[in-house]
Amino acid sequence: MTRIRVLIVEEHDKVRREMAARLGSEPELELVGTATPGEGAVAMVQRGRPDVILLGLGMRAERGLETCRKVAAIAPEARILVLTSYEDEAEKRKAYRAGACRYFLKDLHSRELIRAIEAPPMAGSQRGRRDD
């Protein structure tokens, strides 16, 4: 069984640690690392070649969106799942345009998050377009 390689990109240390703890014990997932948005995350994507990137958009959403654009450019095969604290249609559209394939609220239950990570890309979906 091939494990799904996951990278967590989140600006808040506590949230990064909690997500890593939630996902690290899942046998079908392999946590390749954690990073904050920015060049460190881009470098980690290049080294770790994750299948899925969980990208948190926080108070500095533009930094997260720029990271999303860079990651989408260097790892077009990776699925970028954006996690945010609030529902904002304009931000959601920006995230999809930046290369995200899914957009969720951070309070998503662990099982739902794991299902989203494990879900294959929908047939015909393209980066920057909703696949849900």
Amino acid letter, 122 = M
In a domain, 7, yes or no: no
CATH code for the domain of 78: 3.40.50.2300
Q: Are 55 and 94 in contact (CB under 8 A)?
A: no
Asked whether the predicted pLDDT for residue 26 surpasses 60, the reply is yes
Asked whether the predicted pLDDT for residue 132 surpasses 80, the reply is no
Pick the more confident residue, 66 or 61.
66
List the domain range (segments joined by +) for residue 86: 21-118
What is the pLDDT, as a whole number, of residue 59? 63
Q: Are 84 and 59 in contact (CB under 8 A)?
A: no
In a domain, 127, yes or no: no
In a domain, 129, yes or no: no
What is the pLDDT, as a whole number, of residue 63? 85
Domain count, the chain: 1
CA angle 31, 35, 41 (to 5 degrees): 105
* Cα 14 from chain centre: 17
In this prediction, residue 1 has a pLDDT band, given cuts at 50, 70 and 90, of: low
For residue 9, with 0-12 CB atoms within 10 Å meaning exposed, 13-18 middle and 19 or more buried, which class applies? buried
